Amino acid sequence: MKKMVMVLAVASTVLAANAAEEKLDTLRTYELQNVQVVSTRAGQKTPMAFSTMDKRQINKINHGHDIPFLLSLTPSVTTTSDAGNGIGYSSLKVRGTDPSRINFTANGIPINDAESSQVFFVNMGDFMSSVQDVQIQRGVGSSTNGSAAFGASVNMQTDAPSLTPYVRLNLSAGSYGTHKESLLFGSGLMADHWSFNGRLSNIGSDGYIERASTNLNSYFLQGAYTGTNTMVKLLTFNGIEKTYMAWDYASKEQMKKYGRRYNPCGEYTDADGKKRYYNNQKDNYHQQNYQLIWNQILGQGFNLNVGLHYTAGFGYYEQYKMGQKLAKYGFAGSKLKSDLIRRKNLRNDFVGGVYSLNYEQGRWHASLGGAINRYSGRHFGNILSIINPTVTNYPGKEYYRNKAVKSENSVYGKLNVDLWKGLSTYVDLQYRHIGYRIQNPNDEYSNAAKNGWLYDEKYDFFNPKAGLYYQFNPNHAVYASLAISHREPTRNDFEGHDIPKPKAERMTDWELGYKYQSATLSAGVNLYHMSYKDQFVLTGEINAIGEMIHRNVGNSYRQGIELQGAWKPSDWFRWDANATFSRNRAKDWTVKNGNGKDVRFGTTHLSFSPDVIFNNIFTFSYKGLEAGLQSQYIGKQYMTNDDNKNLTLDAYFVSNVDVSYTFKLKSVKSITVGATVYNLFSKKYFTNGYAGAGYDDNGKETSNWATYSPQAPINFLAHLSITF
């Protein structure tokens, strides 16, 4: 904390020299900015594992890739990209837990979709260009707003109000028609209190996978009033995306026949027997976010944060479907099959507020906060065309319509007390109440809209956390913590379930760590054991609309050791590395075979959970020149939970090289020109897939199938940044 204050003080001095008319203290402005995240973030003495990326670290790698790929070199993270080049539909896992179990917030406000609990990064194109810093807490983490964190929580803080005017242009271009154009601007401080800043962005790519094109348009606008003890900000940011589907993946047999870039999405056979692809097999979505944030320093150690938010979304995707039974689409009594084009629509509204009252004085640090949120989602599908001349009464036929409403009320209290020199204790208690009503989670023909609520569920969770942190000298510290968390099922978990209904999950997370810090070397080790009851795990299979299926598994665990280190022996060289060695197991995995008989596999590997993850970064700096070599190793991953060695993702090792040069001109504050080469050694590898197998009554495999998501071989991006 002292080092941070020194850095901010230096920044304040520099800015004051460049803007003598500025009367507001820069350090005070940053203090006010941090009020909004202090209650949900881990601090120096919080006994848990976390990593923080600041603005400079983000800018060094932010050339157009999605958020998961900008976080990919932090500990215990794996990523995947449907398009194969990190732009479009992408996701990340932490400690093997899938994306729906990772909590994301922006300025303490939930970002996860309330129903699926996913974050669709494709709706947040170039958002990281407007982020000041991001903290990734692994495990349960500290209490936050929104869905519970079962693998990690990611807390993003957007840019602080601009105190000096600026205009910045960021440009990137490279392989597979990839390009990014971003214009960032700030007014500087006006009339001693007011400031405005914003961003306009476009990102586009043809994708490595055939036809996996992406077009992302977005903006970020912020107006702020800053007083001596008050900051009020109004933010709005949006994302408009149009993405050709690439989420069906391809089998190895198909790739052998048609090539690694083969994309079966939109494929059909015309009347002449020729293979065609539907041009509009695309996902379209517009997401609009609004945040109103009030930060207030109350005096005598107290500060207050209140945030109101509203997110509106509308979108749809079209699909060409071959050989469909028309009876499934509401044509009662029909025995016809036909190709058809359907459109699946979603409209949703998410509104609510978050709050926190914080106290920091002497050896006491405390927060009282919570959230009140409500989500409303409407799902409906239309038939656009039936490729059968005998069927004429269909224009715009709606074959399903249903809705869901989800509400959440939560409150937490946190206390960190210095007991005596070097030793502090941490207590964090949270209560969450969730009400979730669903008419029908299945996107198929039904009378759900007329039949009321199929599910009307209520959940009450108490999530306690506690730990100790001991700094036994200026260089060494140890910590230990215990946390318990629960989370409700998502919409997809209810799909296809009648009896038994999906169960809520429970996790107990033990963490034990050590940190070392000196002028040239920092290092850390963290041991974790996450024990689950009724954990939802990916089965490897997909449902009728192509989404991955989760299933409750009775008892399971994830345990491991995370190692981190950074060595800077000189001004021109830095070496960063981290590694995770883990064991991820289901204790009694059971499946039903085609005869309806339970087949037990005993203790098995959890799907998509590598036992080894290793990241290595070499950075070389000399005056304005900077070069880096980044390498990542991901161990073998099972695609199912039955230890089927025929259904795995092989281990892979990839490296990226980045070179940039920054200089100044008389009329320009700075110019940075550079290039990044991804997958330097052109490794052919897969990061995701779908799979399943059939077994006889004795557990012997009778059949299997699998599709894979190939990633791009060697590719590059050139990038240019100019700041005025």
- Quick check: 547 pLDDT over 90? no
Strand 686-695 to 668-678 pairing: unpaired
What pLDDT, on the 0 to 100 scale, is given for residue 13?
Answer: 35
> Quick one: tokens of 351?
């509104």
Query: Biggest alpha carbon distance in the chain?
Result: 84
**Bridge pairing between strands 131-138 and 152-158:** antiparallel
* Each residue's pLDDT tens digit, 255-265: 999 999 999 99
Q: What pLDDT is stored for residue 205 in this prediction?
A: 98
Q: Edge to edge, what strands does the sheet with 109-110 contain?
A: 50-54, 131-138, 152-158, 102-106, 109-110
440 three-state secondary structure? coil
**What pLDDT digit, counting tens, does each position of 566-605 carry?**
999 999 999 999 999 999 999 999 888 888 898 999 999 9
- What DSSP assignment string belongs to 59-98? HHH-SS--HHHHSTTSTTEEEEESSSSSSSSEEEEETTB-
pLDDT at 5 over 60: no
Two structure tokens written together for 431: 């209560």
pLDDT the model gives residue 9: 36
User: Is residue 2 over pLDDT 50?
Assistant: no
pLDDT per residue as tens digits for the range 489-506: 999 888 865 557 899 999
- Tokens read off for 78: 């794996």
- Residue 175 · residue 85 · CB < 8 Å: yes
Give me the residue label for tokens 């060595």.
567
Please tell me which residue, 368 or 14, carries the higher pLDDT value: 368
Q: What was the pLDDT predicted at 513?
A: 97
For the chain, state the CA radius of gyration: 26
Q: Is 681 helix (H, G, I), strand (E, B) or coil?
A: coil
The mean-pLDDT minimum among 88-97, 407-416, 535-544, 549-558 falls in: 535-544
Amino acid at 24: L
As a whole number, mean pLDDT of residues 358-384 equals 94
Region 191-212 average pLDDT = 96
Instruction: Sketch out the chain's domains with CATH numbers.
Output: 35-723 (2.40.170.20)
Q: 459: pLDDT confidence band, cut at 50, 70 and 90? A: very high
Q: Is the pLDDT of residue 462 over 70?
A: yes
Confidence (pLDDT) at 389:
78
Chain centroid to Cα 609, Å, comes to 17
Q: Which two tokens stand for residue 82?
A: 């449907």
Residue 276 predicted with pLDDT over 60: yes
Q: Which residue type occupies 488?
A: E
* Whether pLDDT at 509 is above 50: yes
pLDDT above 80 for 37: no
- Identify the pLDDT of residue 21: 34
Q: What is the pTM (predicted TM-score) of this model?
A: 0.92
Q: At what angle do helices 26-34 and 2-18 cross, to 10 degrees?
A: 130
Asked if the model's pLDDT at residue 279 lies above 50, the reply is: yes
Task: For residues 460 and 110, give the distance between their C-alpha atoms in angstroms, rounded to a whole number.
Answer: 19
Q: How confident is the model at residue 447 (pLDDT cuts 50, 70, 90)?
A: low
Residues in a beta bridge with 438: 404, 455
Quote the Cα angle for 459-464-467, to 5°. 160
Average predicted confidence (pLDDT) for the chain: 91
Q: What is the share, in percent, of the chain residues with pLDDT greater than 70?
A: 94
Please determine, for residue 171, whether its predicted confidence score (pLDDT) is greater than 80.
yes
Mean pLDDT, rounded, for 539-567: 87
Distances in Å between the Cα of 93 and the Cα atoms of 40, 136, 295, 362, 448 are 21, 12, 33, 38, 34
Q: Give rounded-to-5 percent helix, strand, coil for the chain.
A: 10, 60, 30
pLDDT in tens, 611-667: 999 999 999 999 999 999 999 999 999 999 999 999 999 999 999 999 999 999 988
